[in-house]
Amino acid sequence: MAPRKTASKKAPAAKRGKATKATSKKAAKDAPATTTRASRKSTPDAPAGDSYVMYSPEIGAAVCALISEGASVRAIAAQTGMPSKAAIFQWLAKHEDFRVAYMAATHERAHARYESMDEVIYDLRHGRIDARSARVMVDTLKWQCAIESPERYGQVSRHELTGKNGGPIKSQQLPAADMTPEERQAEIRNLAAQHPELFATVASGPAH
């Protein structure tokens, strides 16, 4: 006789449903504080994307700490559990406390960039990078420092026009109609000798 086939026991449908619900509740409890596309209707400020990290002072402080150490917004957004670039920029517009902390962090990042120039010079001395690459890197870092902390790293060029002995420039109306062509040319040369900066554009010709 052929052996009997033993039917496999299956859990009742009701019990399977309870087990599935229990598993779902546990997963939802362990999930991070993010919103999905399905729940985005209740959070209309969330930018497009599969998930959105909700703002909190703790996460904002973590973002600012990374920025002050030299990290970029793009690098921060690439880390697990951190907000996207769009979220960070949105937080800047909506949360004043985060905006103030972010601006302070960018000033600190300028100091971090300045310190990183020593690393570029070190790599150059040890033959890890060529001189041209080092120059480009240092120039870029200097520019970024000046943008993020202009009061400390910005280069300000100021030109002041003064008259004789540091006094104000005196203007005098010349009776050009009563001058001969030679006298007018002599007066122009005299003014050009006293204030060459005023005649620089004249000497170089008009701009095109």
pLDDT of residue 157: 45
CA 170 to chain centre: 46
Indicate the number of domains in the chain: 1
| CA distances in angstroms from 82 to 3, 45, 95, 103, 109, listed in the order given | 60, 17, 17, 19, 19
- Separation of alpha carbons 174 and 187, rounded Å: 9
Say if residues 199 and 192 touch (Cβ distance below 8 Å). Answer: yes
* Residue-number span of the structural domain to which 43 is assigned: 31-153
> How would you write the pLDDT of the chain (208 residues) with one tens digit per residue?
555 555 555 545 444 444 444 444 444 444 444 444 344 433 444 444 446 789 999 999 999 999 999 999 999 999 999 999 999 999 999 999 999 999 999 999 999 999 999 999 999 998 998 998 999 999 999 999 998 988 888 865 444 555 566 666 555 554 555 567 676 666 666 666 665 555 554 444 444 4
Residue 108 maps to a domain: yes
Residue 25 maps to a domain: no
pLDDT of residue 165: 64
The CATH number of whichever domain residue 121 belongs to comes to 1.10.10.60
Using CB atoms within 10 Å of the CB of residue 155, give its burial: 0 to 12 exposed, 13 to 18 middle, 19+ buried: exposed
Residue 191 maps to a domain: no
CA 141 to chain centre: 13
- Separation of alpha carbons 145 and 110, rounded Å: 5
Using CB atoms within 10 Å of the CB of residue 17, give its burial: 0 to 12 exposed, 13 to 18 middle, 19+ buried: exposed
Could you tell me the two tokens for 89?
Answer: 């920029």
Say if residues 106 and 67 touch (Cβ distance below 8 Å). Answer: yes
E runs forming strands in the chain: 34-35, 52-53
Report the SS3 class of residue 52: strand
Residue 105 maps to a domain: yes
Residue 10 maps to a domain: no
Which helix (H) or strand (E) covers residue 191, if one does? helix 181-194
Report the SS3 class of residue 20: helix
Against a cut of 0.95, is the pTM above it? no
